[in-house]
Amino acid sequence: MCGIVGFTGTQQAAPVLLEGLKKLEYRGYDSAGVAVMDKDRIAVSKVTGRIASLCEKTGQGKAVPGTTGVGHTRWATHGAPTEENAHPHLSNDGKFAIVHNGIIENYLELREELTGRGYHFESQTDTEVIVHLIEMYYRGSVREALIRTTNRLQGSYALGVICTEEPEKIFAVREASPLILGIGVGENFFASDVTALVSYTRNVIYLEDGEYAELTPDSVRVFDCSGRILDKEISRVTWDVRAAEKGGYAHFMLKEIMEQPGAVKATIEPRLKNGKVVFDELGMTEKDLRSIRKIVITACGSAYYAGCSGKYVLESLCRIPVEVELASELRYSDPLIDSHTLLIVISQSGETADTIAALKEGRERGAKTLAIVNVLGSSIAKLAGMTVYTWAGPEIAVATTKGFTTQLVVLYLLAVYFADLQGLAASVYAQLIASLQALPRQIQQAIDMNPSIPELAGKYHGSSSLFFIGRNTDYAVALEGALKMKEISYLHAEAYAAGELKHGTIALIEEHTPVIALCCNWTIMEKTMNNIVEVKARGAEVLALSFRGNQKILSAADDFLFIPDTDPLFSAVTEIIPLQLLAYYTALENGCDIDKPKNLAKSVTVE
Ligand code: AGP
């Protein structure tokens, strides 16, 4: 969703801001703009559509003089994606420009109040109230005006502000929206995430809720809401700049699919020591585990499907009941969560608004909370009692791939870890460890053994509907496979528990309807095979996904996708690979904008 950047230094600001905005493009947006301090006035340039148009409009930023500025990519919420609604927004006196990520919930009453006081509004956005409040409260100190303004705001915000009265400064404040300061030499920055900063500096400060920052080219000061200076830790970003570049691939999504063997290895390796699963970050004892009566997993989208898959593994190995609930539902459901609940929240970005709210709900009810997160220093990572990082590296494509598989693997590791705390036979434990260690290699095999996927995509890309079916973990993978197909190829795709077909959905099966049947669970393979027979009898075209050695499937289906022999407990992680590739090549056939699908955002920071 919206992305913000700020820069103050000695080089021209606009090109730096535009570069930063390009790095934030993946978050999803529909308009963009920059505001730069030019001597005693602020120059604003905005466009609807892509950053490329803003670059063109500003001569790659060179036509905009000035060394201090802020920039923004907007994903429309309040008001259509027009130039008027694009950020930055200016105060009526032209002294202030602001950029905002988040939602101001009480903007209507503030707008009414400000209108009554004579302030004039140029846009339909919730954001514009902020800049007029700052103007109203300004008495010679931007910092103080900002504190008084934020005291009036309800909702979420990461704000960047510039002011003609303090022309070398950029100001920032956050509440429930990500914001990171970049510490350079003779220049300083802020941005919604580190990808916009790493080409300039690897030294960053993670701003926390309720903290204000004031940056000049040579200084960075962070305050709390009473104006007290805070001593903030500077962290070093360790990943390579190239990790956030396409590296010769046509799309980030394809690159990230191919990175999965390495990403999963990076998730597993630090947690395996001397043949044991270790989670130094948890510090859980057998007694702690015994106090847990149930596990509740909550998340959104693909992270939720990772949870659905993890449920089978946790229940099978630990025999603890596991409930999986969508975060957007859990937060409003008066959930049965207490101090005997382990609440596991899963989020690649660590900034998903619904997941944050569900986590807070769980904390308030006394649950032990554990977050599985990819983005370092993100809100969820900080809020949770325990945090386990997936170490997948930056994920840029909106459609998650390595984010999902590394979440699965953390759930597997946790299941084995908990099972061991409860007491596992040494031989069973050793077998599970060997199965985990084999996963990176097996993921690579799953990539390599399906060269026919582009051809299959050519066959299915024009379908009006695709059905994904499976049972148990196969069903969880079917859900994720269908979501991948929907979000990037824009084809209607639905997943069904195979046994449910005859309770209604089979009515939709007709001649040539594509059914993607997941048969990677030996124990119930026969049952899904029966469902294949049923849909084929009604004319369906079946694309079966199964183990390479499954001879039976060869006579049952029309087309095939294969995975190597994977431990059935962990097979979801190899099974999803061909489905990711199928979605990718189908989207390619359909000429879709694969890395930035329409209407979607990478990190959903609003409810
Ligand atoms: C997945 O491809 C989606 N883009 C989306 O469902 C995503 O998984 C969901 O929004 C949750 O995001 P998070 O993991 O960052 O919390």
Containing 342, the helix (H) or strand (E) segment is strand 341-347
Same domain for 566 and 512: yes
Same domain for 502 and 357: no
Ligand 1: distance of its center to the CA of 263 in Å?
17
Here the tokens at position 582 are 């199928």
Instruction: Mention every residue, 6+ apart, whose C-beta is less than 8 A from residue 259.
Output: 393, 402
Same domain for 263 and 153: no
SS3 percent helix, strand, coil of the chain, rounded to 5, is 40, 25, 35
Which residue among 479, 604, 607 has the greatest number of ligand 1 atoms within 8 angstroms of its CB, and so is best to mutate?
604
The CA distance from 3 to 601, in Å, is: 11
In a domain, residue 576? The reply is yes
Q: Kind of pairing, strands 180-183 and 220-223?
A: unpaired
pLDDT at 54: 95
> Side chain identity at 91, as an amino acid letter?
S
Q: Kind of pairing, strands 514-519 and 465-470?
A: parallel
Nearest CA among 393, 307, 292 for reference residue 347: 307
Which residue among 251, 300, 380 has the greatest number of ligand 1 atoms within 8 angstroms of its CB, and so is best to mutate?
300
In a domain, residue 604? The reply is no
In a domain, residue 606? The reply is no
Same domain for 412 and 274: yes
Q: What does the pLDDT look like over 220-261, one tens digit per residue?
A: 999 998 889 999 999 998 877 777 778 789 999 999 999 999
The CA distance from 182 to 215, in Å, is: 10
Which residue among 348, 484, 485 has the greatest number of ligand 1 atoms within 8 angstroms of its CB, and so is best to mutate?
348
Count: domains in the chain: 3
Are 469 and 496 within 8 A, CB to CB?
yes
Label residue 600 exposed, middle or buried (CB < 10 Å: 0-12, 13-18, 19+): middle
Same domain for 278 and 389: yes
The CA distance from 132 to 90, in Å, is: 8
In a domain, residue 534? The reply is yes
pLDDT at 489: 96
Ligand 1: distance of its center to the CA of 348 in Å?
7
Ligand 1: distance of its center to the CA of 66 in Å?
38
Sheet containing strand 170-175, strands side by side: 89-90, 96-104, 155-163, 170-175, 211-215, 220-223, 229-230
List ligand 1's pocket residues with C-beta within 6 A.
300-303, 347-349, 352, 355, 398-400, 487, 603-604
Q: Which protein residue has the closest C-alpha to ligand 1 atom 4?
A: 399
Are 337 and 345 within 8 A, CB to CB?
no
Instruction: Mention every residue, 6+ apart, whose C-beta is less than 8 A from residue 530.
Output: none
Look up 308 and say whether it is catalytic: no
Same domain for 313 and 226: no
Instruction: Mention every residue, 6+ apart, whose C-beta is less than 8 A from residue 429.
Output: 416, 420
Ligand 1: distance of its center to the CA of 314 in Å?
22
Interaxial angle between packed helices 453-460 and 572-589, expressed in degrees from 0 to 180 and rounded to the nearest 10: 60
Look up 318 and say whether it is catalytic: no
Dihedral sign for Cα atoms in the order 473, 477, 480, 482:
negative
pLDDT at 459: 94
Same domain for 34 and 98: yes
Ligand 1: distance of its center to the CA of 257 in Å?
16
Q: Which protein residue has the closest C-alpha to ligand 1 atom 8?
A: 302
pLDDT at 289: 85
The region, left, alpha or beta by phi > 0 then psi within -120 to 50, assigned to residue 453 is alpha
Same domain for 19 and 67: yes
Label residue 116 exposed, middle or buried (CB < 10 Å: 0-12, 13-18, 19+): exposed
Containing 561, the helix (H) or strand (E) segment is strand 559-563
The ranges of the chain with pLDDT < 50 are: none
For residue 275, the domain's CATH number is: 3.40.50.10490
Ligand 1 atom nearest residue 348's Cα: 14
Q: Kind of pairing, strands 294-299 and 341-347?
A: parallel
User: Which of 238, 271, 297 lies at the terminal end of a domain, its last residue?
Assistant: 238
Return the beta strands (E) in 144-259 as ranges. 155-163, 170-175, 180-183, 188-191, 203-206, 211-215, 220-223, 229-230, 235-236
Ligand 1 atom nearest residue 401's Cα: 2
The CA distance from 349 to 380, in Å, is: 9
Are 354 and 607 within 8 A, CB to CB?
yes
Same domain for 440 and 296: yes
For residue 178, the domain's CATH number is: 3.60.20.10
pLDDT at 285: 82
In a domain, residue 361? The reply is yes
Ligand 1 atom nearest residue 299's Cα: 16
User: In 3-state terms, what secondary structure has residue 299?
Assistant: strand
The CA distance from 25 to 151, in Å, is: 31
User: Which of 391, 424, 444 lies at the terminal end of a domain, its last residue?
Assistant: 444
Q: What does the pLDDT look like over 43-71, one tens digit per residue?
A: 999 999 989 999 999 999 999 999 999 99
In a domain, residue 600? The reply is no
The CA distance from 289 to 274, in Å, is: 23
Ligand 1 atom nearest residue 352's Cα: 16
Ligand 1: distance of its center to the CA of 352 in Å?
8
Same domain for 457 and 438: no
Are 553 and 544 within 8 A, CB to CB?
yes
Are 104 and 158 within 8 A, CB to CB?
no
Same domain for 472 and 329: no
Q: Which protein residue has the closest C-alpha to ligand 1 atom 7?
A: 301
Instruction: Mention every residue, 6+ apart, whose C-beta is less than 8 A from residue 329.
Output: none
What percent of the chain stands above pLDDT 70?
A: 100
pLDDT at 384: 95
CB atoms within 10 A of CB 201: 18
The domain in which residue 21 lies consists of 3-238
Same domain for 408 and 476: no
Q: What does the pLDDT look like over 279-289, one tens digit per residue?
A: 988 878 888 88
Which residue among 26, 302, 330, 346 has the greatest number of ligand 1 atoms within 8 angstroms of its CB, and so is best to mutate?
302
Q: Kind of pairing, strands 211-215 and 41-48?
A: unpaired
Q: What does the pLDDT look like over 492-525, one tens digit per residue?
A: 999 999 999 889 888 889 899 999 999 998 888 8
In a domain, residue 599? The reply is no
User: Which of 205, 238, 271 lies at the terminal end of a domain, its last residue?
Assistant: 238
In a domain, residue 575? The reply is yes
Sheet containing strand 386-389, strands side by side: 322-326, 294-299, 341-347, 368-373, 386-389
Q: Which protein residue has the closest C-alpha to ligand 1 atom 16?
A: 347
The CA distance from 534 to 540, in Å, is: 9
pLDDT at 553: 83
> Side chain identity at 394, as an amino acid letter?
P
- State the catalytic residue, choosing from 255, 311, 484, 602: 602
pLDDT at 358: 96
Ligand 1 atom nearest residue 301's Cα: 6
Ligand 1: distance of its center to the CA of 235 in Å?
26
